[in-house]
Structure 1
Amino acid sequence: MGIQVLIKRKFIKEKADEVATLMVKLRSLARAQPGYISSESLKCIDPLCDDEYLIRSTWQTDEDWKKWLNSDERGAIQRKIDSITEEKTEYRVYEPLVGGIIPKQSE
């Protein structure tokens, strides 16, 4: 089923093109990684968050994602993005719920 990674980035409107170029580069490189399934980039249109991008990235396993997350190649580009935006990128990893039901915790 795969895992979903939500990546939230702030951006400075005057530097949006520069950040977008780096985001496209990251996506192109991610596509070649083992376990990559797909991704989608979104820009918030709500006035409270109109300076945010949200990327939804799907990977076969958490291990595949972590390998890419911790790669030197990705890290170099990510540091450039964080430097331009002067914000740290946030990551959240999610797994699908089977049938939308939260598994019962064993006692």
Structure 2
Amino acid sequence: MLVKVCMRRKIKEGNLRNVFVLIRKIRAMAMNQQGYISGETLVDYNNPQGTLVIGTWQSMEDWMNWKENQLRKEIEVQLEELLDEPTEYEVFVYSKHHLKITGDSSLGST
């Protein structure tokens, strides 16, 4: 089941360039990980200090393996030092998959 991982970050003033260097480094490493499909980085239109990185993984297990990867964690520590607050993580699945997992059919076939 595909998962989309949303990572919201609020970057400290003056650190945009350094943050994007680290994000690119993490993405380059992720490309070699089992289950990685794609990633994209978005910047808040009204506040360039706000970013949203969306990663697509083949499974929750693949994502969790990558999230716990020691090299990734080391870069993440560097990244967190450049942020106003900790990264927020949210994981999403397509609604039809969630309905199969929960058995809730009240949403129909969305």
Runs of 4+ aligned residues of structure 1 deviating over 3 Å after TM superposition are none
Question: Counterpart in 2 of 1:93?
Answer: 91
Note the residue ranges of structure 2 that are not aligned, 5 or more in a row.
none
Question: Counterpart in 2 of 1:104?
Answer: 105
CA offset at residue 98 of structure 1?
2.0
- Tell me the TM-score normalized by structure 1: 0.86
Residue 11 of structure 2 aligns with an amino acid whose one-letter code is: F
Contact map agreement 2:16 2:49 (CA 8 A) in 1? no
Note the residue ranges of structure 1 that are not aligned, 5 or more in a row.
none
Residue 15 of structure 2 aligns to a residue in which SS?
Answer: helix
Residue 71 of structure 2 aligns with an amino acid whose one-letter code is: E
Contact map agreement 2:43 2:50 (CA 8 A) in 1? yes
Question: Counterpart in 2 of 1:63?
Answer: 61
RMSD: 2.2
1:43 aligns with 2:43: yes
CA offset at residue 44 of structure 1?
0.4
- Tell me the TM-score normalized by structure 2: 0.84
Q: Give the number of aligned pairs.
A: 103
Q: Report % sequence identity.
A: 30
Query: If each structure's helix is expressed as a fraction of its own residues, which one has the higher value?
Result: 1
CA offset at residue 12 of structure 1?
2.0
Question: Counterpart in 1 of 2:12?
Answer: 12
